[in-house]
Amino acid sequence: MNIALSFPRTALAAAVLLLAACGKQEAAPAAPSVAQAAPPAAAQPAAEIVVYSTRNEQLIKPVFDAYTAQTGVKISFVTDKEGPLLERLKNEGANTPADLLLTVDAGTLWQAAHLQLLQPVDSASLQKDVAGHLRDPGKQWYGLSARARSIFYNPTLVKPEELSTYQALADDQWAGKLCLRTSKKVYNQSLVAMLIAANGEAATEAMVRGWVENLATAPFPDDTKLLEAIAAGQCAVGIANTYYFGRLQRDKPDIAVQVFWPNQGEGQDGVHVNIAGAGVTAHAKHRDEAVKLLEWMASDKAQNLFADSNMEYPVNWSVKPAPAVSAWGDFRPSAINISKAGELQAQAVQLMDRAGYQ
């Protein structure tokens, strides 16, 4: 409520006479104007974006530091495995401090959207910068970097013309020569899910059974050990993510392993490509700031910074990969939307279990 102050006219006249009589005295200082009297407005603290990330700290901190240096917006982050982070978001509900969820598999992002932990972001720049098959059709998450899960071989044991498709690794030719990572890893679950999407469940199950029959040894716990086994001649061929190969090649340039791009023939579905990507959380406290960060990471300003540190491919086709990644050659990726990796993940896990893939 505003209160207006007023004086009687007689009182005001008396005050004027009194001031005239005191002309020899120093004039009273003028009352400050409203603009002078008001204290300066307190500076508003910059928003601090909170990111929950399954991507390792050494890969994301340089990206976030660069964004802060350019914009002044601070970013704090929590890193953990995908399961615990999704559970944490569920339990926190509307009280979560997280503004952005960043993960390293499209299946995890699909699951987060399915659990209503993300919200749609209708961004023209994201839809321009991120290839259509590497983002959610419902606009709840977007890819930020890509990795191909391809075939690798020992060039002293295998000629590249002997290789063709993922399915052909089930042929008798590769009996006792194939290495695989465990089926418990989401990367293989997503691969099988995408092959179901491309070829149907029956054909994919027959393929996985053939893989199991051709194994040279028990499945490996990670791609690095698998690639080292190929180099050592323990097996001749295997399936792994390209960035694991990039890391090994960086440390051991002469390692006896080479990449082969499968499923490149006419009518074939192309190389399976997965993503690291992100979505704005359903209860983000700093939604607009989180969207701007997401847009920046997908733009040509940050794609090399985000992808190159892990020997991955940009999702923004206007950006060239790092020279070491480009040296692997060109390939045609699967055009099936990567959301199928999550949609068919449970089906893929059941299939691998039936096929005896441990």
Q: pLDDT tens digits, residue range 124-138? A: 999 999 999 999 999
Q: How confident is the model at residue 103 (pLDDT cuts 50, 70, 90)?
A: very high
CA-based radius of gyration for the chain? 30
Assess if CATH 3.40.190.10 describes domain 147-271+345-354: yes
Confidence of residue 18 (pLDDT cuts 50, 70, 90): very low
Instruction: Tell me the HSE value of 272 on the side-chain side, using a 13 A CA sphere.
Output: 28
- Please state the pTM of the whole predicted model: 0.85
User: 179: helix, coil or strand?
Assistant: strand
pLDDT, average across residues 99-121: 97
Burial class (CB in 10 A: 0-12, 13-18, 19+), 3: exposed
- pLDDT tens column, 193-217: 999 999 999 999 999 999 999 999 9
Please give the pLDDT value at position 46.
59
pLDDT of residue 47: 74
Mean pLDDT rounded to a whole number for the chain = 90
The percent of residues above 90 in pLDDT, for the chain, comes to 87
- Indicate the Cα dihedral angle 226, 228, 229, 231, nearest 10°: 130
Top CATH class, 48-145+274-320 = alpha beta
Query: Could you report the per-residue pLDDT of 237-286, keeping only the tens digit for each?
Result: 999 999 999 999 999 999 999 999 999 999 999 999 999 999 999 999 99
**Dist CA 159 CA 157 (whole Å):** 7
Q: Where are the domains positioned within the chain?
A: 48-145+274-320, 147-271+345-354
* Largest separation between any pair of C-alpha atoms in the chain: 118
At 350, the amino acid letter reads Q
pLDDT above 90: residue 23: no
* Chain centre distance of CA 124: 18
Query: Comparing C-alpha atoms, which of 194, 173, 336, 156 is closest to residue 164?
Result: 173
